[in-house]
Structure 1
Amino acid sequence: MNSAPRHPRIFGRVAELELIHRSLRCSECSGILIEGEIGVGKTMLATQAFRDRGADGIWIRGDRVHQGVDFGAFGLLVDLDDDPATLLGRIVSMLTSTRTPQVVFVDDAHLLDSRSQGVLSELASAGSIRLAVLARSKTADGYIPFSSLVEDRVLQHLVLDVLPPEDYRAMIEHRLGGIVSQAVVDIVDFHSGRNPGKLLELLEYTSRRGRFLKRRGVWILDGLDVDYDERARDYTRIGLLDYSAKEREALELIVLAGEVDLATLLEAGLGEAADALVASGELRLDARAEHRYQAVENHAADTIRYTTPVGQSRAWFDFIEARGDTPSDWAKMIRAEWGLVCGAEISEARTIDAARIATGLGDWHRAMRLLAEVPMERMDPHDLFEVARLYCACNKIPLGLDVLAHAVRTACCAQLVIDSLVVWMGRAFGNSSPALRLADFRTALERLQEDGDDHPGEGVEAELGVELLDRVSTAVVEHRPIHRSVFADLSRQNALTSTFHVLDTSLHVMDMLDSGSTHEALALLGATLIECRADSSAVLRLTVLQVRALLQLGRIDEAKSLMADPPSHDIAFLSARSGPMDLLWAQVHLIEGDLPGAMMALRAAIEGLEYWNQTTQLAIALAEAEYAISRVGTPEEADDLHERFEALPFPGLYHDYRRALVLRTAARAIRTSDPSYLSELRRMLAEAEEDGAAAIVVLIRLLLFRHFDEIEPEELCRAAGRGTGREFELVGRLGAALRDKDPQALSAIAEAYGPSMPDLAGRCTALAARFGAQGHHREAGSEGHGELTARERQISALIVAGRSNAEIARELGVRVRTVEGHTYRLFRKLGITRREQVAEAMRGTEGRLRA
């Protein structure tokens, strides 16, 4: 065999499979030891290697039944009951009976009997056989069989780790059969640790129980099913058996309590066991408190909390409570729920306080479980508001609005009414809600004006609340979008609530990003995030804007870091986070030139945002998808997205609304060639220039160059100097290159931006060729360029960029025959016969530069 075949379904393991094949052919070793945790794919890879070799191999397996029997692993290959004196000779003869050393695949090698291990080691050391050994990394005694052969370089060594994120996502999508949202990836990752074996088991369970929802080909997490993890607990129970009894006891105590100090552990006789768990990564030492051990939040922790016997749990709870330590807020939350579960007396005040902490940390299901223990009729208006905000965040909007209406009707201060108004604007704006309307907020504020505020001098006055409500009502009546100008000078009122200030900051940041003040926006976000770190909903909203600002500045790795590590693994929080994260990942993929990945992420974002009623970001998601599909998809799909945008409620609190309007107008112009849309783009350009929206100006200038043959170097240079970010930098480089008619600079732009913007690269390449030709122009077809359709110009740019017809078809989402038809008509109009002539022909037919 010369090389190992490729197996597209061995996600993320192709290189490892090739290494296994090479080791079994290598003249300097006798095979390979493949080590890894249960489920990481050792047996799958070895099985594939075994199949690839045809009949050239022997497969044996260790097991607990034959572990105590000499040569028990060979029981299916030789007669163990025959003459014991000849048994070893018969085994050696069987293993070495071929002319060339045959390969022995050894599965579950950690369960081999010592005599089987011995004979295999000796024959491999002598070069008489080749070995492919599969062994668990973590065993009860810590011994890994055949490791001495690795030290002696008889065997190569392959340690299989968990799958990288991109391969893990591909494996989930292959298994489920569709696009998966970020929440699905996050929750399966949490429960399986990216272990492919656990993933397959979990998805099998998921399919049987209907744990995920499929919307237009996208799998999303419903965020309500807290029983999803039942199958994963089986794996956790198996894993816990690898620890000693003392270690399991220490892990159980610390997980249940959240954190335990050293003195308490020593009193329980578990100090050494806890240290061993810290060394293995199952526990951590709290850096803020000396000698305090803290639980690591993972699926094992959840399993321990759910499965510890009640009597044992109650005994541990009383032991910890008697210590009288001062736990962190997180541990207070954990212990309050622990006490309720094991039947201890937990006060209502302690329960509500724990629920507040859980809400702030994004542990929304735990918060709902805690709040379920307190009757709502005994909650004050502020507690009712927290419950309402939590239900709205978890997409239980009808219930949330009912509770919010009760909080507004019983509000004791104007601050609470304004907080409720902000929540209502974010979740019910543009919709007719029978539970709560703008008039209800006015009634509450007028009542407070008459009866007085229960907290005079501590917050905003009712008069200020009425003024804010008047401005919002006016915008609704006049059918105007809600942006920062609606609040005007009110945003400078320090007495306004933190909830309002988060909304105001969001709107301010969007204005700053539109104006090109990206660094200033990032600074404002950083300061506001520190102020509201105890509000997980606010942190999520502001983090989305923070990532967007980082992407504009080209700080891709920082943006990825913020996106990749969710602060909570709560199902409801992950679900609510999913759509915004998918939208941001789409932008990352576009920057990196992965257009298929971007389209999948955009589709996932749209379905997640729509299902979770996150209309604030749905507008830009629909617009970006429509624009992308207008370039690479079908008109029907783009029209569907256009109609879904039209159906959005108005007015509303939309992120990037201005950018969304520009993109969908450009998309319409690209696919219809209707001049009215181009006129609308130019109107938007003039409007953006007038009010200082520099980022919108740069966006439109770039679109006009890429898709509509508008070349205005001086305007590009002028626009680029008004802000900071990737698009400003690109437009500045482009304007300078066009102004100087610099072919090298244009070629450099084409090379740098070709993967993410092939149409831009095609335009730059054609213009570089034109400038480099020193005035030699081709006359053929010079009059035809103005008659090219938008699709023909698009295809010509892709041809110049080096794409084949098949590649163009895949990129545009059409059939190859359709591309061939467009290419034929394009060649006729340009008066050419070969693809190599397209660049020159386009160069000769470019419109005159307006320098």
Structure 2
Amino acid sequence: MADEGPIVGRETELSALSGLAESPDGRALLLRGEAGVGKSVLLDAAAARSLALGHRVVRTAGVEAESELPFAGLHQILHPLLPQAAGLDRVTRAAFDTVFGRTAGEAPSVMALGVAVLDLLALVSGDRPLLVVVDDAHWFDPQSAEVGRFIARRLSAHAVRMAIGVRADVASAWDAAGLPELTVPALDAHAAALLLDAHAPDLADGARHQILEQARGNPLALLELPRALREGSAPGTGPGELPLSRRLEQLYGDRIRTLAAAERTELLRGALDGTGAAPSPADRARYRLGDVDGALAAGLLTVDAATGDPVFRHPLVRSALLQSATPNERRAAHAELARLHHADVERHAAHLAAATVDPDEAVAAVLERAARSATARGAAASAVALLTRAAELSPGSAARSRRLGDAAYVAAQSALLDQAQELREVSDRLAGAHQSPTAVITSAYAALYRDGDVNSAHRRVAAALGSLPPDSDPETRTRLLNLLLAISLFAADPALWTVTDALVDAAPVTPATSLYRDAFGDVARRGAGARERVQDAFARLGEEQPWDVMRLGVAAYHLDALGDQRLLVRRVADREVGSGAVTNAMTLLQLVMLDQIDSGEWDDAERTGGRGLDLTAAHGYALFAHQYHGFLGLIAAWRGDTERATAALNRLDRWARPRGVGHLTQLAEAIGAAAHLTAGDFEGAYAYAGGLTAPGTFAPCSQQALRTLLDLVESAVHTGRAEQARAHAEAARDQGLPAISPRLGFLTAAALAMTADDTQARAAYERAVAHPAGAEFPFELARVRLAQGMWLRRARERAAARTVLEQAAEVFDRLGAVPWARRARAELRAAGAATPQSAHGAASALTAQERQIAELAASGLSNKEIGARLFLSPRTVGAHLYRVFPKLGISSRASLRDALAGNSTEAG
């Protein structure tokens, strides 16, 4: 509102914004205040200051009509910058093409997309600083807000600033962004009087007092109410009778009504389509206003200085247009916009639905397709609304019931269990059913996730499957079967699995469901060949929904194939956390954490666990919360934090055992075995590991029976139970565990080596440590090398012992497994090496992330390749290396390998 004259009473805010524009470092500032308080004016001032400094400015504004269209806000930010994207690598450009709908494929995760945006911003700001202004950010769609928050927190390494305006009375994703905030309050009495007198000096005393009273320091009201009074409209009957924004919308409504009908129609189309900020890419272009001279003259519109296009003067103008339009006028405008966006399935469907009154199967089918597109793009919460509207427009009760059932299912996957229950009840009433399959699915999900009630959930789902008629809907049967398999996995009860197996065997099942049964249940007896089936299923993934990726990911973990899919799983997990399938995101984050544990990224795994706990607490999912506590307890056990490990064990056992959640009670026992092994209490470790499965056997339907193979053998060896240890190692071989996965092959080879007699031990250990899968599981490989070194020392092969013990100690040090490192160094001393208690030297001054980046750089990877692996921008990688070099006492990348190797040798 630059045409309103000097800015009054905002010295503090203007100083802060000048500081933002002139800052030598990239950073973001969030402006928060009520509607009309002047956030837009202040953002204009920030933009003007940046332009005066020779900086580049990109303006954008959130639009309420697009608040549920994935990435609509991000389109506005990026569109003016895309011409320079040619300077980016092909993978980064492909991320933008997918999100903008120009190419088919799965949308990238928030983290991957955020890194791509940072790369583009870094490129654009290379020659002159950039200011990104986001007005009305509270109307940003959740996906754009997630990306916006991601980049706003990571600008310090770039010449990029962000100024973001949000309403104080509208909840948004920016509320928890953790950004520096500038509260924009109402003007004080003195400044309010100055502003009013400057713009309406001829007001009578009574009118002046009334306006000051009603405006209460709101600058927009101080400017608008005198204009309304001059035009013959009363400023109001008394303060507080209506919200201020309502009164202002009414004032705009008076001006709108003076326009010609054609011009009002034009403005309405623009309001419904979000006209007012920078246009999106051509295939998602907003409606362009034309022939709106009257609206410009009335002060409803202004001209965008960058594009020359007419844009709305204030968001309240849009609100007034929508409030003043009749239902028929809105529907006609939506119909025109649906034609405009015929190539964009989600926007086309949204406008088509709003234009339709009577039931129409064709429109309902379009909405159903749009819902599937939304879930595939990480907007499952939006899909619920689309499916609900599709049900409303379905001509028959059967179709309405089915679509509401689908909406209930998606709501359950989106952590909207209460909404799922409401949708399910309506669906059942339409179908004339008291306890439909949809009702069973919804209630079982709630019982499982919130309460861990596996027994009653299993009973209800099994009964529903048993009563399905032969010609029942295949998708409903598949959903019931897949849910029953998940419940059975958590129960880990052979008796319940017997019922589950019978129901799976009795029904025509999809290949995926058959795979889930073999991976979730008795892997030791059904797992042969399943790993290859998982890999084939991932290779065939196309537009599958997030729950398909989640179930396949769980199967991959239990078959030790998750490492091959880690990038996909991490990307989908990040994508779904915001407004996607949040329930699935909780499991996907667990898979990310477990993969990080297996691959030796324990610090990252703890951070992922904390993130998962926050998510489960927000939704009250006790089952998943206890899983996260268990995984964190396992890390604590291997690191020797007995207090945390014991607390996690007790928490799991107290909650899970009375409920019959065997999957978690077994995890508790695995924590106990790990904690006692780490402490050197092998008798205690044997008691826990032997409680999971008897030596020489593998308890059916127990995932931990396989995962604790090495724990049982190692504790048996150290307690003099050589016969039991050998029996268990041979049972692993004879059961065919090596055929199930390379990891189980590695563990079986290690177990056979630990139990071999002295004539065979050397060759057995060499086979074990040379197993290709060992390198993928560094902690387990280090344990095997420790055992190998101990045997070599006893065999008086001290030089060979020192070599493998040094390798083991280095891994234990890196993982923070202090008791294991201490044990390895004690063995090293016994083998004749003079060793310190822990690694020292320049490399020890590196943070975990700096060490990881330095090692990758030493291996020959470029900054861009390192960033792709670690979800960092190349500039951020470069900044880390800039700090690494002086810590290591080097000046070039070429010296990294020697510097790291030298410090490792010193530590050994």
- TM-score, length of structure 1 as denominator length: 0.50
Structure in which a larger fraction of residues adopt helix = 2
TM-score of the pair, normalised by structure 2 = 0.47
